[in-house]
Amino acid sequence: MSAENVELVCPAGTPAALKAAVDAGADCVYVGFRDETNARNFPGLNFSRPELADGIAYAHERGTKVLVAINTFPRAGSPEIWHQAVDDAAKLKADAVILADVGLCDYASRKHPQLRLHLSVQASASSAEAIRFYHEAFGIQRAVLPRVLTVPEIAALCAQVPIEMEVFVFGGLCVMAEGRCSLSSYATGLSPNMNGVCSPASHVRYVEKGDKVVSQLGGFTINTFGSGESAGYPTLCKGRFEANGKLSYLFEEPTSLNTLSLLPDLIAAGVTAFKIEGRQRGRAYVGNVVSAFRRAVDAIRRGEAPPEIDLDNITEGNKQTAGAYERSWR
């Protein structure tokens, strides 16, 4: 894969964030409708149909593509709003829809054969066999890979499948296989995969106990922070728990994924698109991160090394990690 062909896929949780991403140099922005059909179904986020129509027009006028995430799983026997989301995305001239559910992939491929289909990370497709199935059965043209693969594993996948590969390069690090998360649903009654909400703020509590702060989700203690420690957001997969007699973070501390230095390796592996996470973040975050990665990709295209860019001030816990791309904590 040549750096010339790599796309920068950027988050847009609001119309303002969409404009910020486009103006900062995004090749694509990804968005969701304001309902449970997308996996970032939070108050104050996402797009009405008229807002998306305006957003698509703004992006297309500036040469940027718009991808619509319809990446939750429909309720059994009630797929209507998911079908309507696909129909509306096609009607509004979205450049692609990002799907996870097999039934929805079938619906989209039959009802809108000209609509480009991407496979969401929520589908948890991380093997050549799984990705080939979605391509052969539904015409999927790009797969977003879970954040649990190393660079050599990604290279092997790219060599074995006939479609484009997209990987996360910055933002929140989900250390579970996306699409298979059930702990948040157990703790709060709201499912990331069905309702589009992981660790919803309505169920978060911070409780002071002496000189410590306890973070809770749905009444469950997720972490305890001592004096001087930054109290991170209580996401279950980033909790601090006791296992085998040792108190620790089982996978990663609450940190952000940042792969700026690995972009040349990912391009060499055959990756088509770099995805920035952050539809819950504001336009300032979006503008800063997209601008940084735009500069990095452009430098690689010129045959230069990616510049060193300090993004600590906008990362989770002011810390960064390369996650599974360089680690073997799985």
Structure confidence by residue, pLDDT tens digits, 71-99: 999 988 999 999 999 999 999 999 999 99
pLDDT band at 286 (very low <50, low <70, confident <90, very high): very high
Domain assignment present for residue 265? The answer is yes
pLDDT of 1: 60
pLDDT of 320: 65
Query: What is the rounded distance in angstroms from the CA atom of residue 228 to the CA atom of residue 206?
Result: 15
Q: How far from 174 is each of 113, 178, 194, 236, 254, CA to CA, in Å?
A: 32, 7, 17, 10, 10
Sheet with 220-225, edge to edge strand ranges: 204-209, 212-217, 220-225
pLDDT of 254: 62
Residues 151, 93, single domain; the answer is yes
Structure confidence by residue, pLDDT tens digits, 212-271: 999 999 998 988 888 877 777 888 777 888 888 888 876 666 677 888 889 999 999 999
Q: Work out the average pLDDT over 141-162.
A: 94
Domain assignment present for residue 217? The answer is yes
- Would the pLDDT of 122 be above 70? yes
Instruction: List the CATH number of the domain containing 31.
Output: 3.20.20.70
Q: Which domain holds residue 36?
A: 3-175+254-325
Structure token digits, residue 191: 């499912």
Number of H helices, E strands in the chain: 9, 15
- Would the pLDDT of 148 be above 90? no
Domain assignment present for residue 220? The answer is yes
Residues 11, 125, single domain; the answer is yes
- Give me the residue label for tokens 């059930």: 182
Find, among 268, 279, 294, the residue nearest to 27 by Cα.
Answer: 294
Residues 41, 78, single domain; the answer is yes
Domain assignment present for residue 330? The answer is no
Domain assignment present for residue 39? The answer is yes
pLDDT band at 316 (very low <50, low <70, confident <90, very high): low
Residues forming beta bridges with residue 214, ordered by sequence position:
207, 224
Structure token digits, residue 157: 């996948």
Residues 44, 166, single domain; the answer is yes
Domain assignment present for residue 81? The answer is yes
Residues 138, 197, single domain; the answer is no
Pairing of strands 164-172, 256-258: antiparallel
Residues 198, 261, single domain; the answer is no
Which of 249, 280, 301 is the last residue before a domain boundary? 249
Q: Which residue has the higher pLDDT, 246 or 291?
A: 291
Domain assignment present for residue 158? The answer is yes
Residues 297, 320, single domain; the answer is yes
pLDDT of 104: 97
Residues 229, 276, single domain; the answer is no
Q: Work out the average pLDDT over 273-292.
A: 92
Q: How many domains does the chain have?
A: 2
Residues 309, 281, single domain; the answer is yes
Query: What is the rounded distance in angstroms from the CA atom of residue 169 to the CA atom of residue 53?
Result: 28
* Prediction pTM value: 0.90
Q: Work out the average pLDDT over 5-9.
A: 95
pLDDT of 301: 92
Share the mean pLDDT of the chain: 89
Q: Which residue has the higher pLDDT, 248 or 70?
A: 70
pLDDT of 190: 81
Domain assignment present for residue 224? The answer is yes
What beta strand segments (E) does 32-86 contain? 65-70
Pairing of strands 96-99, 117-119: parallel
Structure token digits, residue 96: 């692609």
Residues 240, 260, single domain; the answer is no
Q: How many CA atoms, within 13 angstroms, populate the side-chain half-sphere of residue 4? A: 1
Which of 228, 249, 270 is the last residue before a domain boundary? 249
Residues 171, 228, single domain; the answer is no
pLDDT of 306: 86
Residues 124, 219, single domain; the answer is no
Which of 249, 275, 299 is the last residue before a domain boundary? 249
pLDDT of 97: 98
Structure confidence by residue, pLDDT tens digits, 167-190: 999 887 776 667 667 777 888 888
- Would the pLDDT of 25 be above 60? yes
- Would the pLDDT of 318 be above 60? no
pLDDT of 280: 85
Query: What is the rounded distance in angstroms from the CA atom of residue 217 to the CA atom of residue 187?
Result: 7
